[in-house]
A and B are shown apart, each in its own frame.
Chain A
Amino acid sequence: MAAQGDLLDLLREAPVFQGVAKSDLARLAAAAALVDYQPRQKILREGDPGESLYLLTRGTVSVFSTDAVAGETEIARLEAGRVFGEQALIPGRPNRRNASVRALDEVTVAEFPAAAFHSLIATLPGMTAALDERGRRQAMERLSHQSALLADLGDLTQAPVERRYADGERVIAQGQAGSDVYLVVEGLARVEKECDGEIRVLTRIGPGGFFGERALIQAEPRAATVIAEGELCTLEIDGARFLDAYRVNPALRELVEQLSALFQLPGQGTVSLHKGRIGDKQTVTALYHLPDGRRYAASRVEQDALFRLTRLDLEAGAGETQTYIDGSGGLRTLELCAGRLSGLSVIGPWRDLGYAHAAVLRGERLWPWERALFRARGELRLRRREPGPAAEAVICACTGRTRGELVQLLESACDDLECLVRHSGASLICGGCTPLLEELAGPADRRSCRIGALEPLTENVRRVLVEPVSGQPEHFVPGQHVRVSARVDEQRVERSYTLTAANEIMVKRERDGRFSTWLHERARIGDALRVSAPRGGYAAAAGQGGWVCLVAGIGITPALALLRGADWSPARSFSLDYSVRSIADVICEPELRAAAQRPGVEIEIREVASSGRLDAGRIADLTQAHPGADFLVCGPAAYQVAVRDGLRAAGVEDGRVHVEAFTPAEGATHRERASRWQTLVSAATLPALGYLLVAGAWPWPARSESGWQFALLWSDSAGSQWSGFLLLGVLLLGQLLSSRRRLAWPPAGRLSLWTDVHAGAGLAALLLVALHTGLSFGAPITTVLLFSLLMLAATGAVIGLRPFLGQRLPWERLRALHIVLVWPFAVLLMAHVFSVYYFP
């Protein structure tokens, strides 16, 4: 029997207890009881509650998992000095053994009671996290074992025969002898059984489903008839081979039982999804069968953020690995074979996992710089790039689902995220594309609704009825708003709108507004919307003494909700001052006129053009007439500011003023960003350009005494150096916009300042180039140089005029062109400067 001192030494050497003080360990060691086990005797049983921690002091034990189908799978063998059984003791984790342990020879273990262990880790703050980490690594090891098991299944779907059936076509018939097993790839298979001359539909099997295997395994004729419902695509697997594999390989049985989905990959391979468990955790394993014979297994424990992808048709340990450990216990390991990615294991979250996953599936080469990046940052590419808006952009790299396919699913079969995931398999394998799917389907907490009515209220405002696909609209309180989203041009766009009734919003068409433009121009009754629960609103106490609503334009909507939401009386009154540009812009005029007749309701519609703006005097009158009322202010920014100032001047305390801020989500931003200076300069640049192009060389001065000195600027060597370097300086000044954008230097000033400088530099460059050349452009190459400057100025000027040209031009391309044009310009400029000094 080992002495206490030996035990303490063993404890101190155990990796679990690295860094724990000797005195703490001594206390733990004091609580130990030494127990001997005979060979094959079980020490721990999977699933049992955990009551103690073990330190192996002598002999070898086997750690294994037990499965009803697969039997026992050994996970690890432990030698003396190793600690086990700690995972079930970690506070906050299920108190269950996640694996069994059996003695392999004569074994002695030191058993520590859970209480002693708990009191030890309570004093060590980092310990729980470290143990958690250890647990996750153990789970990862199990995933590896599972993947290895799956490696044996290669025969199953190797070169399966793909067969298509038309609607109503029979796949197998009841009573026939079976020889093949079928996997549904696409469509539905209806399973019918004839009983006493009556046909009953037993079930329908969708993508990923299996049929035909029972007849094989139980060696009996087909028990049912299977008919294609709609077009059906199946993979047909040779029965004899399937049967052989099934008999010898318990894991195949497990697979067949666990198979939950099967998808066809765009590259003609297949991926089957299998659900399983490790201890108390759900796992998803995906098996890839690629047409070139490569097979991969991807296993994921979502709860623990564990993921492992391995290539099955390679010998294990054939290549090298690259490992990255991040600061918070995450671990990423890449496996390489002959310089190409063959697998990866990830512990902890990794946003770019989808990309890495796809890179492994493609067997991409890992270049030295990629290795360097991975070692330093744990990434495979410098910047994550979201897939673009095109229909062929791949959203889920694991299953190869494209935006187009997913949108089609959303339009035909699914309304929400969960259904989309179930039908497409996207995000199931590595989970990397979940945010993108949310963007497509809308966040999971949104309700599916349809447009129930779309009617114009004024020229620019539409009333939109939002009808839930099922159930009643949610209860709302006046003042609340909803987030409403729809797919506009293949992308989900979400905006906030004030509710005027439980299922009603009013939408003003914003210039350049994507959502409002869609609602006004392209939306149809019945189109899908996704709508959040009503949110926001005023404090419950607000408006107890009545409301005074000072609103302008579309700002009427919260006031309308208030007006409709209560019975007003002279004691608790509703007063509305509604500013509109013209009477034609008044929303719900009949309703307002009718309401004005009710007691306690006072409505003034103010046509600004004729009756002037709401002024401080009128505000003061209203505050005196309604001393206890709360004030609702809603309208354009300038209106809000003016009214707030008026209310302050009238002595209304801020607590009684409720401002509904609304800003268009886009459109105005560009207008605001473009300064008057930039517009002016851009507008001036275009005629300057035209002048440079058509004017031709400036005439030579006719007399020595007039204009000659001026002409020296471009004709004389010293003069053209002056004008040339001034021009170069101006060009570099303009270039500061780029350096400010990319390098955040120079730090001073807002970006708009540098945009202004950029535009100004463009115009100044044109002026200086005229002085530098006298508008005679010399050699072919300097003519090209000048032309590239003119192109730069032209694209720049058009971009500067964007606020006036609206959405009509392909701005991104223009901007890219503007930037790309810098290259030839810089080349020619460098060569020009050099050539001038080479040939002085």
Chain B
Amino acid sequence: MNADRLWLFLWTHARAIGWTSSALLAAALLLWAGIAGYPALWTAGAASDGHHQVIQACELCHVPFGDSGESCLRCHGEYLVAVRDSHAKSVLLEAGQGDLVGGCAGCHREHRRQHTDSGGLSRPGDFCILCHRRVGSDRPTHTGRDFFRCVECHAYHDNRPSDGDFLRAHLDEPAQLPFPHMPTRPPVGPVVAQTPPAGSDPAIVAQWQSGPHAAVGCEQCHAEGGKPWKSCASCHEKAEQGWRAGRHGMALAAADQPIRVGEARGAFRAEAAYRRPDCGACHGAHEESEDRDAKACGECHADRHSRAWPDTPHARAEPPVTCAVCHLPRQADGSIEHNQSANLRPNRRMGQQVCLNCHGLEFAYSALEDLALIESNFAGTPRDILDIGETAREEP
């Protein structure tokens, strides 16, 4: 009888069937748990600093069973286009550099924190040697230079601050420019005063009416429900985009809230552990907020660079050069770049964008090479003044 034979087969192989099916089931359960609820279970290793905030959102980078090579470009593509990356894939293919062409992951392996530097590089720092081996013999100015130090002058992706023409345009400037030229805030249009609802707190009404939001009715910000940054974004769309792109808002890509300070990597004040860097963390809701910025940053940030600021020439300047001046720079169009990470790598980007407003190029770039000076928040002068002119003038 067929049924008998089936029963007998099942019974004689019961142990094998039991072991195999229970193992398959258990493996499936583990996978399901990892995919559906608890990705940390299967995360292949700690995230790099850059992706720390989005590590739980596997699907941001991984395409199930697919090619994840293009995922990086979803977040970083615009930047690479904007900076005219000279190491684009096509260039590398021509150079025959197979493992670099493996894509971004050729140099930026994720989940290898112990092998990844703070810039996200997960391979030895002398990688330029793989293609530019003959740079010493081809260019007399580079003879005998150390391949580990290429990045002091050059950047792999964004080389604009070291562009020869740019450098030559700024040579021979004094350390301190006689006439600083900072972009200014565009004038705020005439304020059409709104009437506050009856029974409002007079102190708050006064703050509101003296500030730039006097023209905005209460209900536009105090909408029912929704996230606070949503109401801000209804007017400050670009600012919100910048905020989301930077460390303060990037967790929104993986969660529905900005990261808690206590979960972020870096040195922060312990009492700020439960705060989240949303709009209100830096900006007052009702009052004029221009004078808040240095104070606001210090409420959370407790690294040496931040703590050193009050004792620096930047702090004593009039008007003071606050955190925001460098890290949230005002753009040529008068708007504020809210992605505070945008000009950090390479840090000459900040030099180009901000420092050169007040300082000469050689002085500024030299300061940005001096890690101790950066840590002291530029409390002194650069250790060495680079002779950028010598190389820049000789090179095409």
Chain A interface (Cβ < 8 Å from any Cβ of B): 368-373, 375-376, 382, 697, 700-705, 708, 712, 715-717, 776, 778-782, 823, 826-828, 830-831, 834-840
Q: How far is the CB of A164 from chain B (nearest CB, A)?
A: 47
Contact of B66 among A708, A823, A840 (CB under 8 A): A840
With the chains together, A834 CA to B28 CA distance in Å? 9
A376 pairs with B130, CB closer than 8 A: no
Contact of A830 among B24, B66, B68 (CB under 8 A): B24
B27 pairs with A827, CB closer than 8 A: yes
Closest CB pairs A-B (n = 4): A372-B7, A372-B4, A830-B27, A369-B7
With the chains together, A836 CA to B42 CA distance in Å? 9
With the chains together, A700 CA to B123 CA distance in Å? 8
B34 pairs with A835, CB closer than 8 A: yes
Which A residues are in CB contact (< 8 Å) with B27?
A: 826-828, 830-831, 834
With the chains together, A119 CA to B24 CA distance in Å? 69
Q: How far is the CB of B131 from chain A (nearest CB, A)?
A: 11
New contact pairs (17) apart from A372-B11, A705-B129, CB-CB < 8 Å? A372-B1, A375-B1, A376-B4, A376-B8, A382-B12, A697-B114, A700-B124, A701-B124, A715-B115, A715-B122, A717-B102, A779-B42, A781-B34, A782-B44, A828-B27, A835-B31, A840-B66
B65 pairs with A840, CB closer than 8 A: yes
A839 pairs with B115, CB closer than 8 A: no
**15 A-B pairs with C-beta separation under 8 A:** A369-B8, A372-B5, A372-B7, A373-B8, A700-B114, A700-B124, A703-B126, A715-B112, A716-B102, A717-B105, A779-B40, A828-B30, A831-B34, A834-B27, A840-B66
Contact indicator per residue, chain B 1-37, by CB within 8 Å of chain A (1) or not (0) = 1011111101110000001001110111011001100
* B124 closest partner in A (C-beta): A704
B56-64, B365-373, B387-395: which lies at the A interface? B56-64
B276 within 8 A of A: no
Contact of A823 among B5, B10, B23, B64 (CB under 8 A): B23
With the chains together, A373 CA to B1 CA distance in Å? 11
Contact of A840 among B68, B112, B114, B126 (CB under 8 A): B68
A778 pairs with B23, CB closer than 8 A: no
B64 pairs with A776, CB closer than 8 A: no
With the chains together, A369 CA to B9 CA distance in Å? 9
* A370 closest partner in B (C-beta): B11
Q: How far is the CB of A436 from chain B (nearest CB, A)?
A: 26
Interface residues of B in 69-113 (CB under 8 A from A): 99, 102, 105, 109, 111-112
Which A residues are in CB contact (< 8 Å) with B31?
A: 831, 834-835, 838
With the chains together, A702 CA to B117 CA distance in Å? 13
With the chains together, A375 CA to B7 CA distance in Å? 11
With the chains together, A246 CA to B44 CA distance in Å? 84
Which B residues are in CB contact (< 8 Å) with A827?
A: 23, 26-27, 30
Contact indicator per residue, chain B 116-142, by CB within 8 Å of chain A (1) or not (0) = 000000111011011000000000000
Contact of A838 among B23, B64, B127, B130 (CB under 8 A): B64
A712 pairs with B67, CB closer than 8 A: no
Which A residues are in CB contact (< 8 Å) with B34?
A: 781, 831, 835
With the chains together, A376 CA to B9 CA distance in Å? 12
Q: A779-B44, A839-B64 are in contact. Are A704 and B126 (CB under 8 A)?
A: yes
Q: How far is the CB of A701 from chain B (nearest CB, A)?
A: 6
Chain B residues within 8 Å of chain A by Cβ, number: 50
Contact of B30 among A705, A823, A831, A840 (CB under 8 A): A831
B109 pairs with A837, CB closer than 8 A: no
B41 within 8 A of A: yes
Which A residues are in CB contact (< 8 Å) with B10?
A: 369
With the chains together, A372 CA to B1 CA distance in Å? 9
B195 within 8 A of A: no
Contact of A704 among B3, B41, B62, B130 (CB under 8 A): B130
Which A residues are in CB contact (< 8 Å) with B127?
A: 704
With the chains together, A631 CA to B288 CA distance in Å? 120
With the chains together, A33 CA to B40 CA distance in Å? 97
B67 pairs with A830, CB closer than 8 A: no
With the chains together, A712 CA to B99 CA distance in Å? 10
Contact of A837 among B5, B65, B105, B114 (CB under 8 A): B65
A708 pairs with B124, CB closer than 8 A: yes
* B106 closest partner in A (C-beta): A716
* B43 closest partner in A (C-beta): A779
Which B residues are in CB contact (< 8 Å) with A704?
A: 123-124, 126-127, 129-130
Q: A779-B41, A780-B40, A827-B26 are in contact. Are A840 and B8 (CB under 8 A)?
A: no
B44 pairs with A702, CB closer than 8 A: no
* A826 closest partner in B (C-beta): B23
With the chains together, A830 CA to B43 CA distance in Å? 16
B217 within 8 A of A: no
B45 within 8 A of A: yes
Q: How far is the CB of B260 from chain A (nearest CB, A)?
A: 22
Q: How far is the CB of B194 from chain A (nearest CB, A)?
A: 52
A781 pairs with B7, CB closer than 8 A: no
A840 pairs with B63, CB closer than 8 A: yes
Interface residues of B in 311-369 (CB under 8 A from A): none
Which B residues are in CB contact (< 8 Å) with A837?
A: 65
B42 pairs with A382, CB closer than 8 A: no
Which A residues are in CB contact (< 8 Å) with B19?
A: 823
* A819 closest partner in B (C-beta): B19
With the chains together, A370 CA to B4 CA distance in Å? 9
Which A residues are in CB contact (< 8 Å) with B130?
A: 704
Which A residues are in CB contact (< 8 Å) with B6?
A: 372
Contact of A373 among B3, B11, B115 (CB under 8 A): B11
A776 pairs with B45, CB closer than 8 A: yes
With the chains together, A336 CA to B99 CA distance in Å? 73
* A837 closest partner in B (C-beta): B65
Q: A712-B99, A830-B27 are in contact. Are A840 and B45 (CB under 8 A)?
A: no
Q: How far is the CB of B71 from chain A (nearest CB, A)?
A: 10
With the chains together, A830 CA to B27 CA distance in Å? 6
Best-buried of B5, B12, B43 by chain A (most CB within 10 Å)? B43
Which B residues are in CB contact (< 8 Å) with A705?
A: 126, 129
Which A residues are in CB contact (< 8 Å) with B122?
A: 715
* A700 closest partner in B (C-beta): B115
With the chains together, A271 CA to B112 CA distance in Å? 74
With the chains together, A496 CA to B34 CA distance in Å? 63
A830 pairs with B41, CB closer than 8 A: no
Which A residues are in CB contact (< 8 Å) with B63?
A: 840
